[in-house]
Amino acid sequence: MAMRPLSLCCLALLLCAGSAQATRQHLPEQQSFSVINPSEHQTQLQQLQQVAQALQVQVKERPRPAGRASVSLQPMFSSQSGSWPFEPFVNNGLFRAIAGYQAHHPQAVVIRGGSITLAQLQQALNDPRILKPYKDGYLLSYPLMIGSDAGLVVEGTSLYLYSYSGTALINQGWLGLNQSRLESVAGDKPGSTDRAWRPFVVAWAGSHTQVIGSTLERLGYNAHLSRGLSTALSAQQAANSAPATLIVRDSQFNALSSAVELQHTQAQISGSRFEHSQQYGIDVRDSQVNLLDNQVRGIDNNSGIRLRGQTVARVERNLILGAHKAAIEVSDQRGPLLLRANLIGDSRGNGIQLRNLSATAQAPLLIEDNLIGNSQGSAVDGSEVSGIALINNRIGNTPEYAISLRNAAPLTGPLILSGNTLGKAGKAVVRVEGMQQVVLGGNHFEGKPLLQNLLIGDLLSIQGPLLEATQRQGHVVRVSQ
């Protein structure tokens, strides 16, 4: 995206006549700005970057449980002791789908005490109504629960989940897909639920799931914990339970409701493609995640990546295109975040959307080295954000604002805008309202100075002196409200 700095002759039209210095007496009451020592500014940026660099979630592959697992059929209850892994799905259509296939009280395949492959599982069950050879792998027609001491090994094969019969994978232990395929099969029978229903995977706190070189396709429907591959802490599990762990590497997720939905989880997701999800590509709450080198494309209803709650996240070098809402959405967030070197485009809403965030020096929100363009809303749109740093981003081609930050009541800040190339915005380049401290320096503006303001909101009344100090004189300044 070619960006040209604002020429000095055009810039001069915006500057206050004779304003050679940024002095307090030229500014409205309750506003002042001062020049920051360059070394002080660099130290501040380096401290932010050091905190962000430390956001490394280390998730290691966990060995599968030793020994050969036992296999049994167990009744599924909705409100008895030990039934909690099934309870969230009682009203979500699972039991009703099962009832259309099983002529008796709903049963699930349960594996315990070791690991088992699909071939071994088929041999142990010896019932084609439950598991049978199909195409290049196996067709599963019963729900399957992996006990906390057990593992299911899916390696070099395909596992098809029959939609009509209410199939789901429920992991309390270890689930590994390696060079494999996991896909729903609708069959030719009419569904037995009153809405669209598709098989899903859920992994409870304490479990481990790894998806390596594999494909997941047409899984999940829009209901709690049933949207695709989900992890969660059950209300029946202790609050201090070990988090679920998830590794996704070099894999593809196609046409899921939400491809990956994480809660109370440590996850490493890298080198993977998430395409044509209905709700979200990756949806994260109260978790620690690394999202590196992924592609998220074509999200039908919501955002490409959503981050919420007590989440620590490093989102780096991802390509996010064609989200219906925002490419990256951060809401009600209370942990450190690094959004770096992502390529964001063609969002039908905002490029990056920020709502109700509490950032501190110890838990910063750092948006750095991203390319954001061609959104139908603003490139970066924030409200109720206490502090944010945007460094060395290239932002443009938006009908709204390159950067818009609005707080209903003034928040402490700072908002740091440093080294960005900002331009081709339909309204104004930067809008700031309700931030008590703003730091500006080293930014390049491409705008239409005769037709629009570059800085509006709280900065409009001091636009001339600010541009004189930062663009013509090359200073870094701090604006205080």
Contacts with 333 (C-beta within 8 Å, 6 or more apart), sequence order:
307, 308, 309, 311, 356, 357, 358, 365
Output the tens digit of pLDDT for each of the chain's 481 residues. 333 333 333 333 333 323 333 333 344 447 888 999 999 999 999 998 888 888 888 899 999 999 999 999 998 876 666 678 887 787 777 888 888 888 888 899 999 999 999 999 999 999 999 999 999 999 999 999 999 999 999 999 999 999 999 999 999 999 999 999 999 998 665 554 555 689 999 999 999 999 999 999 999 999 889 999 999 999 999 999 999 999 999 999 999 999 999 999 999 999 999 999 999 999 999 999 999 999 999 999 999 999 999 999 999 999 999 999 999 999 999 999 999 999 999 999 999 999 999 888 788 999 999 999 999 999 999 999 999 999 999 999 999 999 999 999 999 999 999 999 998 899 999 999 999 999 999 999 986 655 668 999 999 999 999 999 999 999 999 999 8
CA distance to 162, 457, 466, per residue, from 19 (Å): 73, 21, 10
Identity of the residue numbered 333: Q
Question: Would 313 be classed as within a structural domain?
Answer: no
User: At 467, which helix (H) or strand (E)?
Assistant: helix 463-467
Please report the pLDDT score of residue 96 as a whole number: 83
User: What pLDDT does 261 receive?
Assistant: 98
Q: Which residue range is the domain that position 263 belongs to?
A: 57-270
Q: Coil, strand or helix: which one is 25?
A: helix
Q: Where are the beta strands (DSSP E) in 100-226?
A: 107-112, 114-117, 131-134, 137-140, 144-146, 150-155, 158-162, 169-171, 174-178, 181-185, 201-204, 208-212, 215-217
Look at phi and psi of residue 319 and say left if phi exceeds 0, alpha if psi is from -120 to 50, else beta.
beta
Compute CA distances 417 → 83, 89, 386, 467, 470, whole Å: 52, 47, 14, 13, 11
For residue 105, what are its two tokens? 């009280």
In a domain, 139, yes or no: yes
Residue 155: other Cβ atoms inside 10 A: 13
Nearest Cα to Cα of residue 201 among 286, 138, 156, 262: 262
CATH of the domain at 141: 2.160.20.10
Within-domain flag for 338: no
Distances (CA, A) of 67 to 123, 152, 254: 17, 12, 34
- pLDDT on residue 424: 86
Q: Quick one: pLDDT at residue 87?
A: 79
**CA-angle at 414, arms to 408 and 419, nearest 5°:** 120
Q: Is residue 107 part of a domain?
A: yes
Tokens standing for 144? 């399957």
Residue appearing with tokens 């700072």: 414
Q: Taking the model in full, what pTM does it have?
A: 0.91
**Residue 479 belongs to a domain:** no
Query: What is the Cα–Cα distance from 473 to 89, expressed in whole angstroms?
Result: 63
Buried b (16+ CB within 10 A) or exposed e, 367-396: bbbbbbbbbebbbbbbbbbbbbbbbbbbbb
Taking the C-alpha atoms of residue 149 and residue 243, their distance in angstroms, rounded to an integer, is 16
- Containing 391, the helix (H) or strand (E) segment is strand 388-391
Count structural domains, the chain: 1
Q: Please, how many CA atoms are within 13 Å of residue 130, restricted to the half-sphere of its CB? A: 19
| Predicted pLDDT at 19 | 33
- Asked if residue 32 is part of any domain, the answer here is no
The secondary element (H helix, E strand) that includes residue 42 is helix 38-53
Residue 331's CB is within 10 A of a number of other CB atoms, namely: 17
What is the torsion angle, in degrees rounded to the nearest 10, for the CA atoms of residue 6, residue 9, residue 15 and residue 20? 110
Residue 324: CB atoms within 10 A of its CB come to: 16
Residue 334 CA to residue 326 CA, distance in Å, equals: 20
